[in-house]
Structure 1
Amino acid sequence: MRNKKNVRAFFLVPPEVQLLDITGPAHLFYEAKTYGANIETHYLSLDLNNEVISSAGISLGRLEPYSNFELAENDILFVPGLESHLFFAIDFMKDQQPFFTWLQYQVRNNAKICSVCTGAYLLAFAGLLNGKHCTTHWKYFEDFQRRFPEAKLLSDRLLVHDGNLYSSAGVSSGIDLALYILEELYDAVFAAKVAKEVVIYLRRTENDPQLSMFLQYRNHMETRIHQVQEQLTQNLSKKQNIEDLAESVHMSPRNLTRLFKKTTGISIGQYLQKLRVELALKLLSQGSKVHTVANACGLKSSNQLRALIKKHTSLLPSQL
């Protein structure tokens, strides 16, 4: 662990905060402390109240007013998401002008400001994202771009880092952002230890999309197709044929092929290839051997893996 300096981590707790947005990063910093990081934590409120009710109805207390603190270069502030009716309300945003002014001052002090999910709205209302690259939850892209045209919104990005401003896509991506910050502060080995402690086996990075293939093509209500998709996802290392898949959902191969394409917009074969490519690229980025990755993806050889990846992407990993 290379950084021995004292670090202060601040977690804003706005009204109707999204729980995982705040508790995910906060817990990782807690784990970092147990591994020897010199971290001091504070939980901040937007007003004089020392208690806030989250969007899930859980009460969070012992909060300190944000105005009690002045941040510096070794300080980090996480700004989590909150319910949309609040940041869409004109009165609420007007009431937060003192906070926005405070936030601008902390940025000038070179503190790291990290938004999670719709927390990006608070940064944007403060004018911090003008001319800056950023991201937010995919569901709010259109609205965010319309409200803040000067922000350089990057779609399909899990994390974005621009100067001392950081933003992440939503909910669980706050955990990825916290690991990213811990790696910056300390080193990759330290961040990996923290990830292992909380049983995170696949660390996501700036280059990962918000919605992986394992989540795409699932926005439908056809139960049988969900079952087939789950079976494909959970058995990528095994050979799977259309007959067995069809039998598992009590359909004929022909009807399954037709219904899958109608429901998802792509064929079963195309879906399976996309799953394999994403898994392969993830494993290769983590240093796995080419033949090991081929086996994990249910492919017969390293050459077959190379051909598949080359078909779907123009950027071949260096291992290939």
Structure 2
Amino acid sequence: MKNIYFLIVPQTHPLDSLGPAQLFFEAKENGANLNLHFVSSTLDNELDSSLGLGFSKLIPYREFELEKDDVIVIPGIDFSLLNDSNFKKGNQLFYHWLNTQYNNGATLVSICTGAFILADAGLLKGKKATTHWKVFAEFEEKFPETELLKNRLFVENERIYTSAGMLSGIDLCLYLVEKEYGIKFAIEVAKEVVMYFRRGESDPQLSIFLQYRNHLDTRIHTVQDFIANNLARPFIIEDLADKVYMSARNLTRQFKKTTGITIGDYLTKLRVEQSVHLLAEGYTLEYATIECGLKSTNQLRSLLKKFKGVIPTDLNAIN
């Protein structure tokens, strides 16, 4: 990577640009030879964000001609604008420029609904992509020639990267830093921005700590909170039932009815995800085993092998 261009579009979600910008800035501060540029997708040097916060001192896109190894970061914008036919019509010259830069060898990175901009520009035809989970249906209807991967943090194909949201966009940018400068350098950058977990392309959009929570049963939420906060402690179903003044049998039945998953399977998934995060951060198998409430490292290895298809590929080799 040489130059990173942070594209500012009308109604940009500010953190979609500023989050990745901060990450690349920290990479530069740590010694990466990078130049950061803030570029307007229009001919204006001032644009308003979706929050009303203004961006100024922008350089119009047509003043740049990118080269191989340059990167363009494209943020998500207000969805109402993406559905505006006049917005697409008014962007034709910009879309042509975007295609030219890609053909010149530049890498394109979209954050959240920024995937719609790439697709509108014709850059995702016949490719795989992801975007924010709230707009899956709209994306599939609007761009049937693009294969939408719905449970991915980010998707890589042919120098075009799409990500699910703002935080996964930062994960993606850290992934690019790691590819360019190595894992040790990427870990140092992650520490600078206090990114505790490093997530990869194969990780799901929604963490298990967030999944199975889309319900209104406060008792089941209480049980889920207790399990997540006490993975290292031994407990039995009766302990959980006592917390919410239910019988063990009733809790077991109600938990499955409410969440769609058994308590045992939920606990297992929590343990797998927590262990993967700890191992990715450099902790030992022994430490991860203890923190996840498992009896032995062999038990942890067995769990990781069982979930081999859903954990980051760089951890699949653990044996």
Residue of 199, 202, 225 corresponding to 1:204: 199
Closer, same or farther: CA 273–103 of 1 in aligned 2, 3 Å: same
Distance 2:317 2:304 in 1: 12
What does residue 240 of structure 1 align with? 235
Q: Which runs of 5+ in 2 are unaligned?
A: none
2:69 counterpart letter in structure 1? N
Distance 1:277 1:296 in 2: 11
- Asked if the contact 1:71/1:106 (under 8 Å) is kept, the reply is yes
**Structure 1 residue 288: Cα displacement:** 4.1
What does residue 3 of structure 1 align with? none
2:263 counterpart letter in structure 1? I
What does residue 319 of structure 1 align with? 318
Closer, same or farther: CA 231–185 of 1 in aligned 2, 3 Å: same
Q: Secondary structure at the match of 2:166?
A: coil
**Structure 1 residue 249: Cα displacement:** 3.5
- Asked if the contact 1:281/1:317 (under 8 Å) is kept, the reply is no
What does residue 293 of structure 2 align with? 298
1:211 counterpart letter in structure 2? L
Residue of 78, 95, 101 corresponding to 2:96: 101
> In the TM superposition, what whole-angstrom CA distance separates every residue of 1:189-244 from its partner, at most 9, and x where no partner exists?
21111101111121011111111211110112223322221221122111123333
Map 1:1-320 → 2, pairs under 5 A: 7-285=2-280, 288-313=283-308, 317-320=316-319
Distance 1:172 1:89 in 2: 26
Closer, same or farther: CA 52–126 of 1 in aligned 2, 3 Å: same
**Structure 1 residue 21: Cα displacement:** 1.2
**Structure 1 residue 82: Cα displacement:** 0.7
Q: Secondary structure at the match of 1:10?
A: strand
Distance 1:289 1:246 in 2: 33
- Asked if the contact 2:43/2:61 (under 8 Å) is kept, the reply is no
Distance 2:179 2:303 in 1: 34
1:153 counterpart letter in structure 2? L
Q: Secondary structure at the match of 2:235?
A: coil
Distance 2:125 2:2 in 1: 28
Q: Secondary structure at the match of 1:300?
A: coil
- Asked if the contact 1:284/1:319 (under 8 Å) is kept, the reply is no
Distance 2:258 2:117 in 1: 38
Closer, same or farther: CA 231–89 of 1 in aligned 2, 3 Å: same
1:81 counterpart letter in structure 2? G
The worse-fitting range, judged by mean Cα deviation, of 224-233 and 24-33 is 224-233
Q: Secondary structure at the match of 1:239?
A: coil
Q: Which runs of 5+ in 1 are unaligned?
A: 1-5
Closer, same or farther: CA 306–193 of 1 in aligned 2, 3 Å: closer
Distance 1:277 1:313 in 2: 10
- Asked if the contact 1:290/1:319 (under 8 Å) is kept, the reply is no
The worse-fitting range, judged by mean Cα deviation, of 79-88 and 63-72 is 63-72
1:318 counterpart letter in structure 2? A
Q: TM-score, structure 2 length as denominator?
A: 0.91
Distance 1:30 1:282 in 2: 25
- Asked if the contact 1:213/1:278 (under 8 Å) is kept, the reply is yes
Distance 1:215 1:284 in 2: 20
Distance 1:35 1:306 in 2: 35
Distance 2:175 2:297 in 1: 31
1:160 counterpart letter in structure 2? V
Distance 2:19 2:241 in 1: 40
**Structure 1 residue 77: Cα displacement:** 0.5
**Structure 1 residue 299: Cα displacement:** 1.1
- Asked if the contact 1:159/1:168 (under 8 Å) is kept, the reply is yes
